[in-house]
Structure 1
Amino acid sequence: MPKSHRVVGPARKSLDEEPLTWPPNPEELRRKAMERLHQSTPHNFEALSPDEISRLLHELHVHQIELEIQNEELRDAQNALEASRARYFDLYDLAPVGYCTLNDRNMVLEANLTTTQLLGIPRSELIQRPFPRFILLEDHPQFYVHRQRLFESGSRQVFEVRMFRGDQSTFWARLEGTRRQDGSSQVFRLVISDITEQRDIEDKLRESEHRYRIIVETANEGIWVWNADERITFANETLQKMLGYPSEELLGKYIGDLILADEWQDHLASRQLRRRGRSESYERRFLHRDGHPVWTRVSATPMFDAEGIFIGSFAMVSDITSLKQAENELLQAMQRTEAANQVKNEFVANMSHEIQTPLNGIIGMMQILMTTDLDEQQRKYVTNAVVSANRLGRLLVDILDLSRIETGKVELQQKRFNPVELGRSVCEIFASTARTKGITLGCRLDPTLPAWIVGDEARLVQILFNLLGNAVKFTAKGHVELEAHLLPSTDKGDLRILFSISDTGIGIPDEKLERLLEAFTQAEESYTRFYQGAGLGLTIVRRLVALMQGNISIESVPGKGTTFHVALPFTAAAISSEEQEVAVAVNGKADSGRDFLNTSRTLTVLVAEDEPLNQLSLRKILEPAGHQIVVAENGQQVLSLLSTQDVDAVLMDLQMPVMDGLEAIREIRRLERERYLRLRDPQATLRHIPIIAVTAHTLNVDRKTVLDAGADDFLVKPIEPLCLLALLHDLDDPQAGSHAKDNTPHAESLDKT
């Protein structure tokens, strides 16, 4: 067999020995392949055996397949490379920022599409053009300084310049430069970002911050900020002046060093509230640099970081030192005014008593004179004198009432009374006057009114008396009517009654309605006065209605009449069935009066009065009614007389020399309790002498003081004879419902002994 030969190909040349272009030329590639095949084919090819030729063909076939596989892999790699290059160029061209490359002479070598869009020119006009041509001349130094730094240090440079667009408009650009070696030369790569919008925002932010700082620094209020450790981190100029500290001393100062010792606990409480996220306003004194306190009003707000951690407080501070001084001066002035009002009230009360005491004597003497034989003219003179004296007495009472109401010293008394009986009684008082004037006086009371209500009966009488009296006075013909209706209950459950007093009198013009309820104001203001009065009645009514939480309104037509509406709240009183029967009987009667002149027995009455005329007046009232009189001129004489003789009742004037009436009443009740306790007999009863206080004072505070002292009832000078006799009748009658019907001691009084 012929000797086999191994086909060995020559070693491939390197790319440096035989460089190839890409992509390779097919003809050149075929030529090189034929050369290598020729080199690898033995010269004695004809001497090969068929097996060797077969093996050689097989090997060539395998190499052919290998080459085909390599070609496929090469094509895949080439396609992937082309795709990668395409993606790269897409990313490069369509990047959100501009990319460009400059040579050492600042000429543009490369630029992506974004750069051309930023500059507003096509790529062909940008390549090989100087880059500084697109930068504003004023910003060239900025560009060259950073370029020099880049080539000297090689470190990345970031700076901002203004650049031109193709349309000559400008924009702010941030340039980020890096250096790279490209063969034997260096290139300058730039990243270009349009920051125009960002610069606008920054400019607006700086402008806003500038305005804010101006506002803060020039604000009339002090503004400061302190951190979580309560160290001051900011204080405007106003606050610095307010506390007397320069900025360098105030910043970093512990805020607790400015707090007064007696306000430290308040400061701690406020700090805890802010740490819990609550804003608050408060008044606080801070120490001035020179040591004096500065009154301030503080509005503090907590500050938290993004994670909700407390980092400090922001506060606005107003200097209210002058306001506090003004408040203090006002308070002192109010105290002085109150003291002056107190002196005025005491003067008015004393003058009222001093005037009413002789006035009571005058009226008493006139009433006594009317019981004597007088001719018609003399009786007319005496009657006119009594009317004038009574008018003067009512004026004094009105002045005293108004003075006390203005100072807020009137307290409402809550007692049970029958509104129907009260309304009829008020109407009966004016019935005679109405008949004399020839006018009709009507009284329409709602049958659904409760039998008993709780409220201030005396004040209600005063309101109705003034309104009904005015209606009768200002009505020359026609009628006057008092109506009372039950109103729906309020949310609080209070019972409300509407009282309406209407007349057909002179009426009131619209322009005078607003001022009518003011003190010393009348609808008739001319010098020719047809109606008497000081103009105090309606003022007192308005203030009493307000004090009782009610409302008052007026309807009037000049020449046709006036209607006053008064709505007042009361409380319904629980009553027994027996009381209900009595109330029904009373409400159904036209006249519920009593014959007070026919006494059940003769009473011995101790009259404590230091004024001789009043003594005589009371004697002339009581003795004709069958009563006996014992006179004492002061409280000490009253106690002496009571220790030696028995009396059935005491008329006690409150203002007397030596010992006044209040002190005498208290001493009488104390002696009664002592005698009762000394007996120690459970079957014994306390000897309780009925005492009627007599005074010129007409307000609740005086009534309460007198009743608390132990008086059974209360009369105001000048004394009406029938009122006095009726009161004595009730005190002596065990069925009359007075204090005198029960001779056992008051539980409250015994508890105090």
Structure 2
Amino acid sequence: MSRTSNRPPPAPATALRSQAEERLRHERPEAAITGMPVDQIQATLHELHVHQIELEMQNEQLRSSQSELEQARERFEELYDFAPVGYLTLDDQGNIRAANLTAVNMLEVERTRLETMPFSKFVYREDADPFYLCLRKTLNSALSQSCEVRLLGQNKGLIVARLDLIQAFENGGTVCRLTITDITQHKRAEEALREHQKRQVQYENEERLRVAFEAGDLGSWDHDLRTGKVICSDRTRAMLGLEPGATVNWSMILDRLHSDDAPRFLKAMDESANPAEGGRADVEFRIQIKSPKSEVRSPKLGAPNSISARAEATSKVQEPSNGARVSAPAASPDGKPAPEGSGAGLKTRRTAGGARLSSAAASSEGRQASVGPGTGLNSGRAAGEDTRAPGPDKTESGDKAVPAPGEDTRTPAEVRWLRFAARCFFENGSTGRAIRRTGVLADITNQKRAEQVLHSRARELETVVEDRTARLREAVGELEHFSYTLAHDLRAPVRAIRGYGDLLIAQSVNLAPRHKEFLIRACKAAERMDQLILDTLDYTKIVRQHFELKPIETGALVEQVVQSYPQFQEARENITIVAPLPAVMGNAALLTQCFSNLLNNALKFVAPGKEPEVRIYAEESRTASSAFTPAPAANDGPTGRPDAHPASEDRRNARPARVRVWVEDNGIGIPEDCRDKVFEMFQQLMPVQYPGTGIGLAIVKKAVERMRGAVGVESHPKGGSRFWIDLEKAAE
């Protein structure tokens, strides 16, 4: 495409020559050739001819260059005007000084008008601030700037454009060169791509959700609380006893609700519609799905013989002008209207979704659902028994049944257990009214049946355990009584053996020394047997009897033991009691037995020829032994303490002070590998050198445990042991 230049054409050669001669005459009159020699004139003419030719050649080159320049200028102007982007020149005030045809077409304004208008007039109002900021940066720096804005043409055509700006200088002033790139299609493509990706992600999420719902055997539920429209899956329809693709609404759930579960279900829905409650609901309830056979007409009345039909026939609901609902008295189970004041009237309730439900009166309000006989799961039949009713026209024996006049021939409704977990969405985030409820339904009928069977089996097992426990206790009691009686009765023959043996030794003068030694050994064996029986009786008494715990003055009790027991009189000076010994919670008889046995061992297990030294002292602490957790005493209250009650929990949590009483001796000591065994029954370290029954320390341990305490020992390999008893300190 060619373009005509607006510049004036060059002057012809004859005109130029005349102009030159005229100028020469005025500027250099002395240059006339009059009077010049001929040869000089010829030389001058030659030079002039040469210069003329040179000038003509230069003129030809200039004309050729000018033609090329004109063509290049025309091509540049064509490229400038018809470039794919718009070019503008703005002054420092943002006014348009020049524009190409592409920019003119984009802005939909004639060029003559455009070159006097401010560019900001075409910038979309919401994008004006980013454009002004970009323009200021461009005019104040040499760096190029860019931004994306929306441009509004004169004919209201909106495009999305990318502006690239750079600083320039023109006519001694600063201007801005600006290019406009139309990226509307690009933005639309990006938006389409984002929408496609969004749909792809949504599709993938829906597929994952579908697989999860199928794997979990769940039904989806989406309820628009403003319009009442419900969208659900076919699995939800199947749970509600509907055909696939059937229309579902909120009232279908309400109509199927079990009367005992309706108040609880509606309360959960109302709470979920309250933003203050978190907008979530998770409730288990029963529904009743009626078989088509239940709609049997009464042979007497000729009307549908169903609860809902009778309720419709006897309960007429009117809509007063003020919008309130008035319900007539409901029908009783036999089809007759309920008497006034009987409390059997229908109660109408409007849910958060706008649906109405007529349920039983306030007598059923708050009633908890239960699984058991009469709930519709097994109807009181044994587990595994066929609960299906025979056909409506046959008896269980197969004979054809003839209904009596007025007899109810309906098939019982199927009862299902469902769990509904839902979440409500609200207007204005979480502060407005509920507008949508989305959730899932799960059929938990089999789970409830399994729970019922499990509870039944648990009750049976508890009965068996209680029976066996009672028999075991009876057997243990008889065994304890037998062992106690046996141990007690064994003492009589043992005492007789020892008595007759002592008489033989005293009265047999001519008895051989060897035979006398045999009698002495027999008497000592009988004495050990008698002591063993006594220790066994003591241990049995500690195990069987109930001991009351009360504050005991430890110092006074230890003094009494040392002074009253004969075996401690000879070594009284070797026993040191370091005061004070704090009072503890215990039993006097048990503590006496403990200190008696510990002192006996301390005085007994001493190396031959060594004087025994025993030291008794105490120390207090806030915590019990780290190696022992006090066990509850037998026959105590539910918390292990006599007459314990919940208020005592605070006192126990406060970690009461403990008292540890030490019995220290200078005896032979206990090897490290035997320290855990010394408190077991019939354990003796040196039965020959130090004879005994091996029950004394076992009695100590059992007695301390009955007082909710702990016992232990520390011993040095070279001799000397320290036995300790840890008990709760008595309150001051």
TM-score category by the smaller chain? Answer: 0.3 to 0.5
- Bigger share in helix: 1
Q: What TM-score does the superposition give when structure 1 sets the normalisation length?
A: 0.39
